[in-house]
């Protein structure tokens, strides 16, 4: 074990007097030189290593260790342990790798945060009109699953805005439809209540709706079609408690 390190030792000792050498050398031969002049340089380290390791390999001891390995393997202990979460004391990966893992986590967290903020923003845009109509309405940002790109169906109990009175007969959007469709139907449902209020129509969401319909006059027809499409969809599980977040507008009829 000593042969290849011999040459390295010699050039190590030349600069070996520096304390706090940036690298830490594990090998006996490079060790003492790297750490500083210990009087006899690497010799004591090497002698110690050789002397204490001498005669250490014993066939019977090795057999016992291998038998233990075999027993653990037969029990499936290795497989089970690998599947388990890594305990800190078992994680001896180089620091760079552990760091990379951490930064991957951080990236994911950042991404999630961005998505959440994005969802809130979209929800806020969608609610721009209604908020004029009824400032007291509480809006839950998480009530916009489509905005955050996760169209997974929500449990009926998910906290959202109180469903507007009309929701019972108003068709609700399915959780699996694409974003724009959800926005559109929601805006369409709210349209009747804001169309006569000039200021509300300035809101971006309404402008977008008008553009999509191809003119203010065509919104009614456009919306009728959209709402029909939405209604035509079979079975909307859990719709009652769900998309109301952006349908806050219907509550607008009670507005000032």
Binding site for another protein (CB under 8 A): 1, 4-5, 23-28, 31-32, 35-36, 38-41, 43-45, 47-58, 61-62, 64-66, 68-73, 77-82, 84, 86-87, 89-97
- Shorter beta-carbon distance to another protein: residue 29 or 132: 29
Of the chain, the end-to-end C-alpha distance in Å amounts to 88
Q: How far is CA 8 from CA 16, 215, 249, in A?
A: 11, 81, 78
Q: Shortest Cβ distance from residue 73 to another protein (Å)? A: 5
Q: Shortest Cβ distance from residue 7 to another protein (Å)? A: 13
**In the 8-state DSSP scheme, what is residue 73?**
H
- Shorter beta-carbon distance to another protein: residue 3 or 169: 3
Q: Shortest Cβ distance from residue 87 to another protein (Å)? A: 7
- Shorter beta-carbon distance to another protein: residue 7 or 228: 7
Q: Shortest Cβ distance from residue 148 to another protein (Å)? A: 34
- Shorter beta-carbon distance to another protein: residue 27 or 246: 27
Q: How many residues does the chain have?
A: 256
- Shorter beta-carbon distance to another protein: residue 21 or 240: 21
- Shorter beta-carbon distance to another protein: residue 79 or 218: 79
Could you give the angle at the alpha carbon of 237 between the alpha carbons of 143 and 125, nearest 5°? Answer: 25
Q: Shortest Cβ distance from residue 88 to another protein (Å)? A: 10
CA distance 16 to 34: 5
Q: How far is CA 155 from CA 142, 145, 146, in A?
A: 13, 12, 15
Locate tokens 């007969």: which residue?
169
Q: Shortest Cβ distance from residue 10 to another protein (Å)? A: 15
**In the 8-state DSSP scheme, what is residue 172?**
-
* Furthest-apart CA atoms within the chain: distance in Å: 97
CA distance 92 to 97: 10
Distance from chain centroid for Cα 145: 15
């Amino acid at each position: 074990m000593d042969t290849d390190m011999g040459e390295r030792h010699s050039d190590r000792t030349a600069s070996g007097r520096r304390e706090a050498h940036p690298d830490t050398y594990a090998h006996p031969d490079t060790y003492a030189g790297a750490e500083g002049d210990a009087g006899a340089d690497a010799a004591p380290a090497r002698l110690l290593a050789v002397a204490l390791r001498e005669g250490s390999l014993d066939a019977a001891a090795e057999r016992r260790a291998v038998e233990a390995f075999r027993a653990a393997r037969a029990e499936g202990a290795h497989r089970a342990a690998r599947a388990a979460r890594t305990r800190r004391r078992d994680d001896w990966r180089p620091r760079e790798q552990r760091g990379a893992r951490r930064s991957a986590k951080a990236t994911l967290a950042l991404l999630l945060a961005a998505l959440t903020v994005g969802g809130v923003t979209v929800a806020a845009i969608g609610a721009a009109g209604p908020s004029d109509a009824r400032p007291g309405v509480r809006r839950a940002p998480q009530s916009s699953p489509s905005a955050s790109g996760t169209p997974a169906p929500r449990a009926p109990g998910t906290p959202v805005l109180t469903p507007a009175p009309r929701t019972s007969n108003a068709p609700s959007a399915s959780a699996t439809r694409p974003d724009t469709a959800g926005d559109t139907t929601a805006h369409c449902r709210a349209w009747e209540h804001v169309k006569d209020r000039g200021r509300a129509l300035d809101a971006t969401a309404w402008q977008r709706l008008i553009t999509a319909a191809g003119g203010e006059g065509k919104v009614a027809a456009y919306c009728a079609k959209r709402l029909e499409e939405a209604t035509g969809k079979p079975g909307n599980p859990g719709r009652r408690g769900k998309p109301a977040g952006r349908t806050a507008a219907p509550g607008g009829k009670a507005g000032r």
